[in-house]
Chain A
Amino acid sequence: MKKKWIALVLAGAMVMTAFTGCGNKKSDDSATKDDSAATEESSGESTEIVNKEATIEVPEEVTKGGELKIALTSSPKNLDPVKYTGTYEAQIIYQVCDTVVTYDKELKEILPSLATDWIISDDGMEYTFTIRDDVYFQPGEYQDGRLMTAEDVAYNMNRSAKESAMNRLDMLDHAEAIDETHVKATLKAPSAVFLTALTNAGNAIVPKEEVEGWGEEFGNHLVGTGPYAMEKFELDQQTTLKKNEKYFIGEPNLDTVIFKVITDANQEVNALRTGDVDIATQLTGETVKIVAEDETVNLEKMAGIQIGYAYFNMVNGPTADAKVREALIKAVDYKELAAGVYQYGEGEAACLPLPRASWGYDESVEADVPSYDPDGAKKLLEEAGYGDGITLNMYITNETFRQKAATILQSYWQAIGVELKINTVEWGTFSETAASGKADVFAMAWSWYPDPYFFFDKMFATSAIGTLGNGQGYSNPEVDQLLSDALIETDQAKRAEMYKKALKIITDDNPGIFYGNPAECLGINPKVQDFNQRADGTIKLCTAEENVWVVQ
């Protein structure tokens, strides 16, 4: 009899999983159908999503204590500020450490942090910072929570300038402490982005004793001045932070913060729905829809400081010909392309190589982008001598956005006689192929600070050729001149003018199709309060502008 029972249980389990699988799918499908039927005319290719707001009763008093769990889609590895390379590490560094200055939550203005104010010399070469005298490091293995001084700031700036894996402070010549609370930083040449660079997690202030004491291992034992101190770092698993009661801005509300690594996108959302995590970062594709439609969690969406684009090879192959590039652009309807790529509303259509949120953006340049005209495109190709058609090699990584973009481009270009071969490769291959200028076209997304420098100088400056940013070899002396002038100028209004000029010249050169502005999407449990989403995707839990807490 026992055997029969086993058989029955096994069979039952199988049948149940099979049915729930189908059942789920069906209800999903029918929901989509109903919604799209209701909004058929407006929605085009994209799926209409009903965002179901989850609410809970929020007490008037802030409840202190408790735990916040945040999902990261990849494991943070080396947490040493000067050595970190990924956004995952930055999320943790920002909680454990502070920077000298910081961006406000809108990413528009630079605010004081460890420095209360700063004076820039007239020639733009020297920055003198006044450092707070009431900030203490978290206790660690090699110091017991001593006062942070101007000496520490100078040490960290010099260390970053010399050792940073990403050359994050390459404009700095040296920094020195003048007295207990003043630091003078001398630049190699005037640089308008020095303060912006200082807001990066890579330039966080850490105690010298810990860096030298731990040596290579410091990346696993980060210590700083921030609101949460590192308690346990488990690679590929989770990082546990505990509140730093002596935080200089004020006592953080949460007792514990846990960053959990969940690499599978579906599982990240499952964990959010089951309450295994409270915040799920970097949602894309269908998971955005699942979170929006779930009645127990909320979707937060914000236009990111990002552009999605396909970049043409400016040096080799048919796309080196300006006419071919213009033809390829004319063959594409940007709005339809973006609607197809951001099917679940995870981004919007764009057309210029700068995010709209950047202060260097100029709407008037939008008119310069060749408009959709397949017949005109064909004519241009004939004029360029490619009447019989051409074959282009495109490189993308194995990501849904890129794949969608590539297949849509393929069908648009096919209509004008261009055959597009799509090579889907993983990141390592992609970055090498793209950086060395071996792709006719490559598609990716670029994101950084809102300062146009971090887009233009990295993607269109002659000096950036050979890096992934400008692997396609864009080079225009006029643009180079404007970019180097804008870097020396410290007046933002004047810089904006220069960048707008550069934007126009670049757009007229037709270097690529800058079709989209991806959004930062995150899923959040309604019990999380006083949380501000930021356009660059960084999470900050306790600053002068917010102090996150959870309803118990």
Chain B
Amino acid sequence: MLKTIVKRILQSIPTLLIVVTFTFILTRMIPGNPALTMLGPQAPKESVEQLEEELGLNKSKGEQYVIYLKQILKGDFGRSYSYNQSVVELIKERIPNTLVITLTSLLIALVLGMIVGIVSAVRQYSILDYIFMVLALIGVSMPIFWLGLMLVLVFSVNLGWLPAMGMGSMAKGVWDVVSHMILPCFCLSTIPMATFARITRSSMLEVVNNDAVKALRARGLREGVVIWKHALKNALPPIVTVLGLQLASAFTGAILTESIFSWPGMGTLIVSAIDNRDYALIQGVVLFTAIVFVVINLIVDIVYTVINPRVSYESGKGGN
């Protein structure tokens, strides 16, 4: 197992190098001069040139790339010039905010989604199944942006129950924090909830009627135990894969939801970085995201071997 992990970590180095190189090239390809973008329409020429020099943008692209690589190797993600803070500091500041809403909504989505999926699978073709699956379809296809604004119109502007935007503060009590989270979390959980429901349903359907499960029933086990203990365990792998991917994107933030609700997380950070042509910050956030994805994929693979021993990496001839 340890050998596998070390191997996987070594394998991820080229992946990260490619990510670093591509982000570097792509950020340089976005048209627009960062100095000019920062200083705005009224900036005199000398100011623009001065800032370019300060940012090292007057050097050749190759030189900039080498400098950047050296920095990364030293573990230095650089300094964001639009925020006037180190990139690592900024990410550290934003990650908790983002995790609070993304993990909460992911948890809600996972629990509700799986319940709905299992019920639908067990009662396949029942009225309940149809209603759930239509709702799931609506959930997947609902534009987050529209949903968010509608939620605010109904629950904040018309009913006045919940705040329209922003993040609550503990100083004003727990309710302040929770009430600020309800709308963004609801908004953020719709798509993953629907996804989980559909994945769970199809994965369960494959399992509930196979011979092994039939044999369990034949041995007289209660239906509840058969479904929730044995069948679900066998249906888990696809759900874990999806969960892993959703978890990875939970770290990168939800760009639309965060923008609508003025939530100061990773999503708004990357939008502002791109708007400002803040090269160091764009590169830093993308590299961070890549690392998160690599790590979570690794974890997912390990979890696989635990929940389904047939998938073995050691022998090299696993059953996937």
Contact = CB atoms under 8 A, between A and B. Distances in A.
A400 interface: no
A289 interface: no
Interface stretch (B28-36, B211-219, B225-233): B28-36
A431 B37 contact: yes
B135 A432 contact: no
Given A260-B262, A271-B164, A426 B44 contact: no
Contacts of A123: none
Contact of B165 (A267, A433, A448): A267
B149 interface: yes
A7 B136 CA distance: 11
A484 to B, nearest CB: 16
A166 B164 CA distance: 36
B131 A468 contact: no
Contacts of B45: 466-467
Contacts of B26: none
A431 B41 contact: yes
Contacts of A42: none
A450 to B, nearest CB: 15
A223 B32 CA distance: 34
A75 interface: yes
Contact of A234 (B42, B115, B264): B264
Contacts of B119: 3
Nearest to A218: B84
Contact of A435 (B36, B116, B268): B36
Contacts of A20: 150, 153-154, 158
Interface in B27-56: 30-34, 36-48, 51
Contacts of A427: 32, 37, 275
Nearest to B260: A264
Contacts of B33: 428, 431-432
A77 B272 CA distance: 11
Interface residues of A, number: 63
Contacts of A273: 157
A30 interface: no
Contacts of A448: 42
B217 to A, nearest CB: 22
Interface string A326-348: 00000000000000000000000
B153 A24 contact: yes
B83 A235 contact: yes
B84 A428 contact: no
A236 B264 contact: yes
B224 to A, nearest CB: 14
Nearest to B30: A428
Given A428-B30, A444-B41, A165 B272 contact: no
Contacts of B68: none
Contact of B156 (A14, A167, A270, A432): A270
B275 A14 contact: no
A165 B51 contact: yes
A468 B36 contact: yes
Nearest to B163: A276
Contact of A271 (B46, B115, B131, B165): B165
A143 interface: no
Interface in B269-286: 269, 272, 275, 277
Nearest to A163: B50
Contacts of A270: 149, 152-153, 156-157, 164-165
Contacts of A170: 44
A433 B264 contact: no
A75 B38 CA distance: 13
Contacts of A166: 39-40, 42-44, 47
A493 interface: no
B261 interface: yes
Contacts of B166: 237-238, 260, 276
Contacts of A21: 146, 150, 153
Interface in A1-42: 3-4, 6-7, 10-11, 14, 16-17, 20-21, 24
B160 interface: yes
Contacts of B150: 17, 20-21
B97 to A, nearest CB: 9
Contacts of B152: 267, 270
A391 B163 CA distance: 50
Interface in A82-100: 83, 85-86
A432 B42 contact: no
B292 interface: no
A261 interface: yes
B25 interface: no
B128 interface: yes
Interface of A: 3-4, 6-7, 10-11, 14, 16-17, 20-21, 24, 75, 77-78, 83, 85-86, 164-167, 170, 216-217, 219-220, 234-238, 260-264, 266-267, 270-271, 273-274, 276, 425-433, 435, 444, 446, 448, 454, 458, 466-469
Interface of B: 30-34, 36-48, 51, 82-85, 93, 112, 115-116, 119, 128, 131-132, 135, 138, 146-147, 149-154, 156-158, 160, 163-167, 259-262, 264, 268-269, 272, 275, 277
Given A85-B40, A428-B275, 5 more contacts: A166-B44, A235-B93, A264-B262, A428-B30, A432-B32
20 contacts: A20-B154, A20-B158, A21-B150, A24-B153, A75-B272, A77-B83, A85-B39, A165-B39, A165-B47, A220-B84, A237-B166, A262-B262, A263-B268, A267-B152, A267-B261, A270-B157, A427-B275, A431-B37, A432-B31, A467-B43
The 8 A-B residue pairs with the shortest CB-CB distance in the complex, in nearest-first order: A428-B32, A429-B31, A428-B37, A237-B264, A429-B32, A270-B164, A236-B264, A468-B41
